[in-house]
Every structure is written in structure tokens, then in C-alpha cells.
Amino acid sequence: LTLAIALSLDALFMERKTTMTVLKIKTQEGTFTAVFSECGLARLEFPQTKPAPSARNNGQSAPTSQQRRWSRLTAAALQQVLAGKKPTALPPLDWSGSTAFQRRVWKALLHIAPGRTRTYLQIAADAGNPSGARAAGNACGANPVPVLVPCHRVVTANGELGGFSGGLEWKRRLLAREGVALSF
């Protein structure tokens, strides 16, 4: 019963899936891939070391002028965070499809200043669930816009690094840029 309802809702969502445009963003650290919807930046991918996995740069619709503007905002913000600074502006973020808990977690991440860290437990509390540290970790792992939404500033309560969707090397590098002393 509930399964059937879930399936039909899913079908509805699939039906109104918006077209995404994919743009490359060059930095000193490599070429990032940004995916824009009509609502804003939906995803940011780290430079791909190996092949070209984002298979679809081909059949995309041309970026709107708005999306080109968002792309410039994204590029500028990216440079600033990579330099260890707080970005002066962010593009609008498309968090559609995420849960309320995830959005609360991601919003809390935006309040962590460069050079500061916060634990999964603290983020869970920020998001309104003090016993949800593990769930907060899951939400961080599902963050579609790493770097700009600084999930790399979240570490474990016992002083370890925790995980990182883009690979722990990136997490270490980003924290080092911000002057965070790493003891691992």
C-alpha cells in the first residue's frame, strides 16, 4: 500500500525532471564539474583523475544566461574556498529531492567558518537531533555541493578525520588550506 504510493510519487517526480546543464570550472586544483538546474547549482564534482565519467556533456541544453552567471559565481566561490577564504557570494543551491533533515544539516554546514571545525555530533544537534550524529554523517556524505557547502569541516568527536565523499586526500587538503592543524 505505502509502497504503491511511494512508487506513484516517484513516477511523478521522474516526469517533471528538469533538464540539467553541465559546465566545467577550471581551477589550479583541476577542473571541477558543475551541474545546474533551472533553480541553481545542483551538484559539484571534484576533478576526475581517471577517465571522463560524467558521460553526458553532449546532449545538454545550452546554458541560460542565468546559469552562466551562476557558473561565474560558483567559480569565484570555489577559488576562494580553495584559497582558504570565505566565499563572498554563493550561487543559489538546488536542494530539491533532499529530505528536511539533510537540508538542516547542510544549512548548518554553511555556518562553519573557514579554519574552524565542528563534530558530527555538534552538527546533529545543530540540525535538531542531538542523538543523530551518525545520521548527520550520512547527510554530510550525501552533500551534493562539496567545498562550497563545507562538509570537509566536520570531524569525529574523538579527533579523527571522519570520511569524505571526494576522498580523504581532498578533505585534508581543504582543511590544510584553511590552516587547520591535522594530527593524523
Partner DNA sequence: ACTGGGTAAACAG
Partner DNA sequence: CTGTTTACCCAGT
Instruction: Determine phi and psi for 147, rounding to 5 degrees.
Output: 75, -60
CA angle in degrees (0–180, nearest 5) for 89-48-20: 55
By beta-carbon proximity to DNA, the closer residue of 159 and 179 is 159
CB of 132 to DNA, least distance (A): 4
Q: Which of these, 155, 148, 147, 140, lies nearest to 173 by C-alpha position?
A: 147
Q: Any contact of residue 80 with DNA (CB under 7 A)?
A: no
CB of 100 to DNA, least distance (A): 7
Is 140 known to be catalytic?
no
By beta-carbon proximity to DNA, the closer residue of 10 and 38 is 10
Instruction: Determine phi and psi for 156, rounding to 5 degrees.
Output: -80, 165
CB of 10 to DNA, least distance (A): 9
Which amino acid makes up residue 103?
R
Distance between CA atoms of residues 98 and 103, nearest Å: 7
Q: Any contact of residue 101 with DNA (CB under 7 A)?
A: yes
Q: Any contact of residue 119 with DNA (CB under 7 A)?
A: yes
Q: Which residues contribute to the site for DNA (CB under 7 A)?
A: 2-3, 99, 101-102, 119-121, 129, 131-143, 146, 151-152, 154, 156-158, 162-166
